[in-house]
Amino acid sequence: MVPARRPFVGGNWKMNTLRASAVELAQAIRRACDAPLPAPGGATEGAARCANGPERAEVVLFPPVPYLRDVAGVLAGSAIGVGAQDLSAEERGAFTGQVSAEMIRDSGGEWVIIGHSERRHGAGESDELCGRKLTRALGSELRTIFCVGETWEERSAGKAHEVNRRQLEAGFREVGAERLGEVVVAYEPVWAIGTGKTASASDAQEAHRSIREWLANRYDLRSASGVRILYGGSVNAANAAALFSEEDIDGGLIGGASLKAADFLAIVAACGATAKVER
Protein backbone atom coordinates (compact mmCIF):
# COMPACT_ATOMS: atom_id res chain seq x y z
CA MET A 1 0.00 0.00 0.00
CA VAL A 2 1.36 3.41 -0.91
CA PRO A 3 1.37 5.97 1.93
CA ALA A 4 -0.22 9.37 1.41
CA ARG A 5 1.46 12.65 2.23
CA ARG A 6 -0.60 13.92 5.14
CA PRO A 7 -1.56 17.57 4.62
CA PHE A 8 0.16 19.98 6.99
CA VAL A 9 -0.62 23.49 8.18
CA GLY A 10 1.80 25.50 10.33
CA GLY A 11 0.80 28.70 12.10
CA ASN A 12 3.80 31.03 12.39
CA TRP A 13 2.75 33.71 14.87
CA LYS A 14 6.04 35.60 14.44
CA MET A 15 6.52 38.42 17.02
CA ASN A 16 2.82 38.72 17.78
CA THR A 17 0.56 37.96 20.75
CA LEU A 18 1.22 38.38 24.46
CA ARG A 19 0.78 35.58 26.96
CA ALA A 20 -3.02 35.97 27.35
CA SER A 21 -3.74 36.28 23.63
CA ALA A 22 -1.38 33.41 22.78
CA VAL A 23 -3.18 31.12 25.22
CA GLU A 24 -6.58 32.26 23.95
CA LEU A 25 -5.64 31.65 20.30
CA ALA A 26 -4.28 28.18 21.08
CA GLN A 27 -7.41 27.34 23.08
CA ALA A 28 -9.71 28.40 20.23
CA ILE A 29 -7.78 26.29 17.73
CA ARG A 30 -7.70 23.31 20.07
CA ARG A 31 -11.45 23.51 20.71
CA ALA A 32 -12.20 23.34 16.99
CA CYS A 33 -9.69 20.60 16.34
CA ASP A 34 -10.89 18.42 19.20
CA ALA A 35 -14.48 18.51 17.96
CA PRO A 36 -15.61 15.42 16.06
CA LEU A 37 -15.51 15.65 12.28
CA PRO A 38 -19.04 16.66 11.18
CA ALA A 39 -20.96 14.92 8.44
CA PRO A 40 -20.37 16.23 4.91
CA GLY A 41 -22.44 19.34 4.37
CA GLY A 42 -22.75 19.99 8.11
CA ALA A 43 -22.61 23.58 9.31
CA THR A 44 -19.12 23.29 10.75
CA GLU A 45 -17.79 20.93 8.12
CA GLY A 46 -14.06 21.17 7.81
CA ALA A 47 -13.54 23.34 10.85
CA ALA A 48 -12.39 20.32 12.81
CA ARG A 49 -10.21 18.67 10.20
CA CYS A 50 -7.06 18.86 12.23
CA ALA A 51 -7.14 16.15 14.85
CA ASN A 52 -5.79 12.64 14.46
CA GLY A 53 -6.38 10.61 11.36
CA PRO A 54 -5.03 10.62 7.83
CA GLU A 55 -8.09 12.42 6.50
CA ARG A 56 -7.23 15.45 8.57
CA ALA A 57 -4.39 17.90 8.30
CA GLU A 58 -1.52 17.87 10.76
CA VAL A 59 -1.43 21.21 12.56
CA VAL A 60 1.56 22.77 14.34
CA LEU A 61 1.60 26.19 16.04
CA PHE A 62 4.72 28.35 16.37
CA PRO A 63 4.21 30.94 19.14
CA PRO A 64 6.93 33.32 20.32
CA VAL A 65 9.44 31.43 22.46
CA PRO A 66 8.50 33.11 25.78
CA TYR A 67 5.01 31.58 25.40
CA LEU A 68 6.07 28.17 24.14
CA ARG A 69 5.52 26.52 27.49
CA ASP A 70 2.07 28.11 27.96
CA VAL A 71 0.90 27.13 24.48
CA ALA A 72 2.35 23.62 24.85
CA GLY A 73 0.32 23.35 28.08
CA VAL A 74 -2.88 24.34 26.29
CA LEU A 75 -2.22 21.80 23.53
CA ALA A 76 -1.06 18.93 25.75
CA GLY A 77 -2.95 15.74 24.97
CA SER A 78 -4.28 17.11 21.66
CA ALA A 79 -3.07 16.19 18.17
CA ILE A 80 -1.79 19.73 17.58
CA GLY A 81 1.98 20.17 17.67
CA VAL A 82 3.97 23.13 18.89
CA GLY A 83 7.37 24.51 18.01
CA ALA A 84 9.76 27.46 17.97
CA GLN A 85 10.34 29.90 15.12
CA ASP A 86 14.13 29.56 15.15
CA LEU A 87 16.96 27.93 17.10
CA SER A 88 20.66 28.39 17.70
CA ALA A 89 23.12 26.32 15.68
CA GLU A 90 25.17 26.02 18.87
CA GLU A 91 24.56 23.52 21.61
CA ARG A 92 25.02 25.79 24.67
CA GLY A 93 27.30 28.47 26.07
CA ALA A 94 28.09 32.15 25.65
CA PHE A 95 25.59 33.02 22.91
CA THR A 96 23.63 35.98 24.25
CA GLY A 97 20.03 36.05 23.16
CA GLN A 98 20.07 32.70 21.41
CA VAL A 99 17.80 29.75 22.21
CA SER A 100 19.10 26.18 22.07
CA ALA A 101 17.38 23.08 20.74
CA GLU A 102 17.46 21.60 24.23
CA MET A 103 15.69 24.68 25.65
CA ILE A 104 12.99 24.38 23.01
CA ARG A 105 12.41 20.74 23.88
CA ASP A 106 12.51 21.55 27.59
CA SER A 107 9.76 24.14 27.01
CA GLY A 108 7.51 21.62 25.28
CA GLY A 109 8.53 22.33 21.65
CA GLU A 110 8.66 19.42 19.20
CA TRP A 111 9.20 21.41 16.03
CA VAL A 112 11.29 24.33 14.80
CA ILE A 113 11.25 26.58 11.73
CA ILE A 114 14.64 27.10 10.06
CA GLY A 115 15.64 29.44 7.26
CA HIS A 116 12.56 31.65 7.27
CA SER A 117 13.17 34.66 5.03
CA GLU A 118 12.84 36.95 8.04
CA ARG A 119 15.93 35.12 9.36
CA ARG A 120 17.81 34.76 6.05
CA HIS A 121 17.08 38.24 4.73
CA GLY A 122 15.92 40.03 7.87
CA ALA A 123 18.72 38.82 10.14
CA GLY A 124 21.41 38.01 7.56
CA GLU A 125 21.56 34.24 8.12
CA SER A 126 23.65 32.47 5.48
CA ASP A 127 22.77 29.26 3.64
CA GLU A 128 25.57 27.61 5.57
CA LEU A 129 24.21 28.71 8.97
CA CYS A 130 20.73 27.44 8.05
CA GLY A 131 22.33 24.09 7.20
CA ARG A 132 24.09 23.94 10.57
CA LYS A 133 20.80 24.74 12.29
CA LEU A 134 19.07 21.91 10.45
CA THR A 135 21.78 19.48 11.51
CA ARG A 136 21.48 20.70 15.10
CA ALA A 137 17.68 20.39 15.09
CA LEU A 138 17.68 16.83 13.74
CA GLY A 139 20.45 15.84 16.12
CA SER A 140 18.27 17.13 18.96
CA GLU A 141 15.11 15.28 17.92
CA LEU A 142 13.32 18.42 16.75
CA ARG A 143 11.24 18.03 13.63
CA THR A 144 11.81 20.90 11.25
CA ILE A 145 10.16 23.12 8.70
CA PHE A 146 13.04 24.15 6.44
CA CYS A 147 12.19 27.26 4.39
CA VAL A 148 13.56 28.28 1.02
CA GLY A 149 12.51 31.01 -1.38
CA GLU A 150 13.71 33.58 -3.86
CA THR A 151 13.45 37.38 -3.81
CA TRP A 152 11.57 39.27 -6.51
CA GLU A 153 14.86 40.33 -8.13
CA GLU A 154 16.00 36.72 -8.30
CA ARG A 155 12.66 35.61 -9.77
CA SER A 156 12.73 38.43 -12.34
CA ALA A 157 16.23 37.37 -13.38
CA GLY A 158 14.95 33.82 -14.00
CA LYS A 159 16.92 32.48 -11.04
CA ALA A 160 14.12 31.25 -8.76
CA HIS A 161 14.83 27.52 -9.13
CA GLU A 162 18.59 28.06 -8.91
CA VAL A 163 18.26 30.01 -5.65
CA ASN A 164 15.90 27.47 -4.08
CA ARG A 165 18.19 24.61 -5.03
CA ARG A 166 21.24 26.42 -3.67
CA GLN A 167 19.47 26.89 -0.33
CA LEU A 168 18.46 23.22 -0.30
CA GLU A 169 21.98 22.09 -1.20
CA ALA A 170 23.50 23.93 1.77
CA GLY A 171 20.62 23.04 4.09
CA PHE A 172 20.56 19.29 3.49
CA ARG A 173 24.33 18.83 3.22
CA GLU A 174 24.48 16.63 6.31
CA VAL A 175 20.98 15.17 6.23
CA GLY A 176 20.77 11.45 5.41
CA ALA A 177 17.76 9.88 3.67
CA GLU A 178 16.75 8.19 6.93
CA ARG A 179 16.08 11.63 8.51
CA LEU A 180 14.02 13.04 5.64
CA GLY A 181 10.76 12.04 7.31
CA GLU A 182 11.50 14.55 10.08
CA VAL A 183 11.77 17.49 7.70
CA VAL A 184 9.00 19.41 5.98
CA VAL A 185 10.13 21.87 3.30
CA ALA A 186 8.39 25.24 2.92
CA TYR A 187 8.61 27.17 -0.33
CA GLU A 188 8.14 30.80 0.63
CA PRO A 189 8.88 33.31 -2.11
CA VAL A 190 10.24 36.33 -0.22
CA TRP A 191 8.15 38.75 -2.28
CA ALA A 192 4.93 37.00 -1.21
CA ILE A 193 5.48 37.01 2.55
CA GLY A 194 3.24 39.47 4.37
CA THR A 195 2.70 41.47 1.18
CA GLY A 196 -0.74 40.24 0.12
CA LYS A 197 0.88 39.07 -3.16
CA THR A 198 0.51 35.31 -3.52
CA ALA A 199 2.29 33.23 -6.11
CA SER A 200 -0.25 31.87 -8.59
CA ALA A 201 -1.14 28.25 -7.90
CA SER A 202 0.64 27.18 -11.09
CA ASP A 203 3.83 29.18 -10.36
CA ALA A 204 3.89 27.75 -6.85
CA GLN A 205 3.34 24.23 -8.22
CA GLU A 206 6.25 24.69 -10.62
CA ALA A 207 8.53 25.71 -7.75
CA HIS A 208 7.34 22.78 -5.62
CA ARG A 209 7.91 20.34 -8.48
CA SER A 210 11.43 21.66 -8.88
CA ILE A 211 12.07 21.22 -5.14
CA ARG A 212 10.78 17.64 -5.25
CA GLU A 213 12.95 16.97 -8.28
CA TRP A 214 15.96 18.25 -6.36
CA LEU A 215 15.09 15.93 -3.45
CA ALA A 216 14.74 12.97 -5.84
CA ASN A 217 18.18 13.67 -7.33
CA ARG A 218 19.81 14.22 -3.96
CA TYR A 219 18.12 11.19 -2.32
CA ASP A 220 15.81 8.96 -4.35
CA LEU A 221 12.39 9.14 -5.92
CA ARG A 222 10.62 7.21 -3.18
CA SER A 223 12.04 9.34 -0.35
CA ALA A 224 11.33 12.54 -2.29
CA SER A 225 7.71 11.64 -2.90
CA GLY A 226 7.17 11.22 0.84
CA VAL A 227 8.40 14.72 1.77
CA ARG A 228 5.75 17.33 2.44
CA ILE A 229 6.35 20.64 0.70
CA LEU A 230 4.35 23.61 2.02
CA TYR A 231 3.62 26.90 0.35
CA GLY A 232 3.95 30.08 2.39
CA GLY A 233 3.33 33.72 1.48
CA SER A 234 0.01 35.52 1.96
CA VAL A 235 -2.08 32.36 2.16
CA ASN A 236 -5.62 33.17 3.30
CA ALA A 237 -9.00 31.49 3.54
CA ALA A 238 -9.88 32.61 0.00
CA ASN A 239 -6.79 31.39 -1.88
CA ALA A 240 -5.88 28.31 0.17
CA ALA A 241 -8.00 25.71 -1.64
CA ALA A 242 -6.61 26.54 -5.08
CA LEU A 243 -3.02 26.34 -3.83
CA PHE A 244 -3.51 23.11 -1.89
CA SER A 245 -5.17 21.33 -4.77
CA GLU A 246 -1.92 21.46 -6.78
CA GLU A 247 -0.15 18.13 -7.03
CA ASP A 248 3.03 19.00 -5.13
CA ILE A 249 1.59 21.46 -2.60
CA ASP A 250 0.99 19.57 0.63
CA GLY A 251 -0.16 22.41 2.87
CA GLY A 252 0.91 25.83 4.04
CA LEU A 253 2.98 27.84 6.45
CA ILE A 254 0.67 30.64 7.49
CA GLY A 255 1.75 33.98 8.97
CA GLY A 256 -0.79 36.81 9.20
CA ALA A 257 -3.85 34.59 8.74
CA SER A 258 -2.75 32.30 11.59
CA LEU A 259 -3.43 35.03 14.16
CA LYS A 260 -7.21 34.77 13.87
CA ALA A 261 -8.60 31.36 14.84
CA ALA A 262 -11.46 31.47 12.31
CA ASP A 263 -9.18 32.35 9.38
CA PHE A 264 -6.60 29.77 10.36
CA LEU A 265 -9.22 27.05 10.81
CA ALA A 266 -10.71 27.83 7.41
CA ILE A 267 -7.24 27.27 5.90
CA VAL A 268 -6.87 24.02 7.85
CA ALA A 269 -10.24 22.92 6.54
CA ALA A 270 -9.23 23.72 2.97
CA CYS A 271 -6.08 21.69 3.47
CA GLY A 272 -7.68 18.75 5.27
CA ALA A 273 -9.13 17.11 2.22
CA THR A 274 -6.05 17.25 0.01
CA ALA A 275 -3.86 14.30 1.01
CA LYS A 276 -1.57 13.37 -1.90
CA VAL A 277 -0.90 9.74 -2.66
CA GLU A 278 2.69 8.76 -3.25
CA ARG A 279 3.45 8.10 -6.87
Could you confirm whether 121 is annotated as catalytic? no
Q: Is 256 near ligand PGA (CB under 6 A)?
A: yes
Task: Single out the residue of 188, 246, 248, 263 in contact with ligand PGA (rule: CB under 6 A).
Answer: 188
Alpha carbon distance, N-terminus to C-terminus of the chain: 11
**214 within 8 A of 168, measured Cβ to Cβ:** yes
Q: Which of 171, 233, 251, 272 binds ligand PGA (CB under 6 A)?
A: 233
Among the listed residues 58, 118, 125, 188, the single catalytic one is: 188
Q: Which of 115, 232, 251, 272 binds ligand PGA (CB under 6 A)?
A: 232
Judging by beta carbons within 10 Å of its beta carbon (0-12, 13-18, 19+), is residue 85 exposed, middle or buried? buried
- Out of 58, 116, 125, 150, pick the active-site residue: 116
Task: Report the nearest approach of ligand PGA to the CB of residue 221 (Å).
Answer: 28
Per-residue mark of binding to ligand PGA, 192-231 (x: CB under 6 A): -xx-------------------------------------
Beta carbon nearer to ligand PGA, 191 or 219: 191
Q: Is 116 a catalytic residue?
A: yes
- Return the number of the residue (37 or 230) whose C-beta is nearest ligand PGA: 230
Residues 116, 106: contact at Cβ < 8 Å? Answer: no
Residues in region 6-25 near ligand PGA by CB under 6 A? 12
Minimum CB distance to ligand PGA smaller for 118 or for 246? 118
Nearer to ligand PGA, 114 or 254 (CB): 254
* Contact set with ligand PGA (CB under 6 A): 12, 188, 193-194, 232-235, 253-257
Give catalytic residue positions.
Answer: 116, 188
